[in-house]
Structure 1
Amino acid sequence: MLKLIVKRSFKKDRIRCLKNKKITEDKLSAMISKLQEQTPLEVKHKNHVLKQWKNCKECHIEPDLLLLYQIQNDTLILSKAVYT
């Protein structure tokens, strides 16, 4: 299991998404758990590497809610949650 580091920008985005009822805490924590356990994500999550940001990946929690993260050594870094 990967150690978890949560950036300040992710914390703010998380609060904003939960406050606006864009997502439930259960869905968000389930996705984070899958990433921490390094479980392969389903195709619907469209997990992929971002070319413009070094070592950064993106997955879709919902069709319009993106999670930006990095995996470095044995650490999962949550960078941003973007609602489009």
Structure 2
Amino acid sequence: MLGDKTRSWVREPASAESYASGVRMFAFKGRKRELTCEELAIGRKEADAAPAVLRGEGAKGISPAQVSRGVMLAAEVSRELQNEIKRRCGA
């Protein structure tokens, strides 16, 4: 994801497994300075929704520890993206 210059992954749907592994959240975190204001908003919305996905029906097979780590990472990424939005996008 970090190597994708077009950032097409931002608009692709995410699975519970991708939240549990942290791949998408780390990608948003690592690319936040390169994302547009719209992409930052998409990432923040996704980070805010990740805990519900991780605790939902689609998360079967994910361990409680993975859920816990995913929820904590999503909260951290949401805060960081919100700070970036405030800094650059005037929101």
**TM-score, with structure 1 as normaliser:** 0.26
Bigger radius of gyration = 2
**TM-score, with structure 2 as normaliser:** 0.25
The structure in which a higher percent of residues are helix is: 2
